Amino acid sequence: MMENILDKDFMTKTLYSDIQELLESRKNSSLFNTSYPLSPSQWTHYIADINLPFDWTLPIAFYIHIPFCKQLCSFCEYTKMRLPNENDQLRYVENIINDIRQFIAKHENIMLYGFDIGGGTPTALSEKTFAVLMNWFGGYIASANVLKDFEASIEATFQTLTINKIALIAANGIKRVSLGLQSSSENVLKPLHRSVDSCQNMSFAIQQLHQAGIDKVNIDLMYGLPGQSIDTLIRDIATIKELNPEQVTIYEFRTNQLAHSFETNLEICYQQYCKLYDELTNLGYNGVFGQNTFSKKATDCGLSSYLRHRMFDGWQYKGFGISSQSMSQSGLSYNIGKNAPVSKYLSDSILSYEATKSYILPSQEVFAKFIAVSGYSGGFSISVARKILGNEFDAKYRNTIKFLFSENLITIKNDRLQLTKSGFRYYGAILSLFHSPQIIQG
């Protein structure tokens, strides 16, 4: 049985007061959320001119980033550009396929736990380019070594799905499709350069996905967007009820996701999350308070296998495509093109998007990054924390955890540290207590 981290040692009033003061100083700051580090410059001294090492005794996931969209939403923080011509699309996809082939050739006995294709909008690709990507994917997965719970997923929009693309997705082994809705309100989305489709069209698309053999359809919603209110969220829930997807994911809008000076109101975000949680669970979706994913099926957490093991278990993954991220217990890397115009990397002279440098991180930074990612689940696994930090985890964080528990901000059950409803109101501030002190002070 796991040693109870709440046992042992008496915490002095001074130490208790110090932790309380630190938490209070961060409660109302939108700086602290699920992003880490707070600025890339805080990791510059960890840069090394080597490929990111992976542990080949463990499973790995692949992720492909397709940065192309038919329209650019102003709230999106990911690397993206307007859909280029078909020749540029084909070159981009062929370069990614070549990068994956070379990576596979260097590493025998790869065991995949997941494979997601995201963006951007992968289904924005032309019919020809999308067929090239899907047919390669299907051929590779058919012969790959995968874990029992392997479940590939692809991101899409209702406006870019076609009957042919749906058929290609289903025929090549993808059983989960994640569709971005964000909001059903035109008044919310139009100022952010995004359009709303009709419920009739969305229902038809989901029907076609199911008929093709797609087991799980996920719909993304956002909260905290400029112009959103409880009334617009109620309409969003009515849309979800009508569409009846297997899964729903809700994302909080963050201040750093918008170019202009809109200020995120943390209390409004909290109230909107609570409303969405209550309404989704009333519709029969399973979800843990504080987690951002909901599912009609109680056992899948509303996630693909790539996201599930990355969020809950901190497993390693390899990204392909411009600016795509990779991570292992050794550190993290970004492929070329991070924070740069995508068009710069679409020329004939660019044949690979692989990273040329890596951040080789101390265990404290690997742990802090895991906490940030796991924050989407409203907590984290204590055994994973101990695996990353060893004995240092209990030594460093026992008092912090005892304080949070005594203030009813967290619960601990078996292996799981989970934010309470009171704690989730200040989730960013609480998660930051597990960040590296040097990073926060810097």
In order of their start, the domains of the chain are 13-39+380-436 (1.10.10), 60-313 (3.20.20.70)
What would the pLDDT profile of 162-188 be if each residue is shown by its tens digit? 999 999 999 999 999 999 999 999 999
Confidence of residue 231 (pLDDT cuts 50, 70, 90): very high
- Other CB atoms within a 10 A radius of the CB of residue 339 amount to 8
Residue 7 has pLDDT above 80, yes or no: no
More confident residue, 337 or 258: 337
Instruction: Note the pLDDT of residue 8.
Output: 59
pLDDT the model gives residue 158: 96
H or E stretch covering 417: strand 416-419
- pLDDT at position 440, please? 46
Give me the pLDDT at residue 340, please.
81
Q: What is the pTM of this model?
A: 0.94
Q: How far is it, in rounded angstroms, from Cα 69 to Cα 122?
A: 8
- 40 SS3 class: helix
Q: Is pLDDT above 70 for 435?
A: yes
> Measured between alpha carbons, how far is 44 from 31 in angstroms, rounded to an integer?
20
- For the stretch 356-398, pLDDT in tens is 999 999 999 999 999 999 999 999 999 999 999 999 999 999 9
What CA–CA distance (Å, rounded) separates 204 from 11? 59
Nearest to 151 by CA among 184, 199, 114, 195: 114
Q: What is the pLDDT of residue 213?
A: 97
Which of the 8 DSSP states describes residue 298? T
Structure confidence at residue 4 (pLDDT) = 73
What is the rounded distance in angstroms from the CA atom of residue 161 to the CA atom of residue 182? 17
Residue 60's pLDDT is what? Answer: 98
Report which of residues 30 and 95 the model is more confident about.
95
Give the mean model confidence (pLDDT) for residues 210-236: 96
Overall residue count recorded for the chain in this entry: 442
Q: What is the rounded average pLDDT for all residues in the chain?
A: 92
Q: Given pLDDT bands bounded at 50, 70 and 90, which one contains residue 77? A: confident
Per-residue pLDDT of 79-94, as tens digits, reads: 778 899 999 999 999 9
Q: Are the beta carbons of 237 and 280 closer than 8 angstroms?
A: yes
Q: For 287-353, where are the E strands, in sequence order?
A: 293-295, 317-320, 325-328, 331-334
More confident residue, 33 or 220: 220
3 state SS of 223: strand
Give the per-residue pLDDT at 442: 39
Q: How far is residue 387 CA from its own chain's centroid?
A: 22
pLDDT at 235 over 70: yes
Least confident range from 14-23, 207-216, 381-390: namely 14-23
Residue 426's CB: how many other CB atoms inside 10 A? 21
75 vs 113: which has the higher pLDDT: 113
- Which residues contact residue 65 at a Cβ distance below 8 angstroms, ignoring those fewer than 6 apart? 78, 79, 118, 119, 120, 319, 320, 321, 322, 323, 324, 335
Q: Which of 4-18, 255-269, 342-356, 401-415 has the lowest mean pLDDT?
A: 255-269
Please state, as a whole number, how many other Cβ atoms lie within 10 Å of the Cβ of residue 179: 22
Long-range contacts of 126-129 (CB under 8 A, 24+ apart): 126/86, 126/89, 127/162, 127/164, 127/165, 128/86, 128/90, 129/86, 129/89, 129/90, 129/93
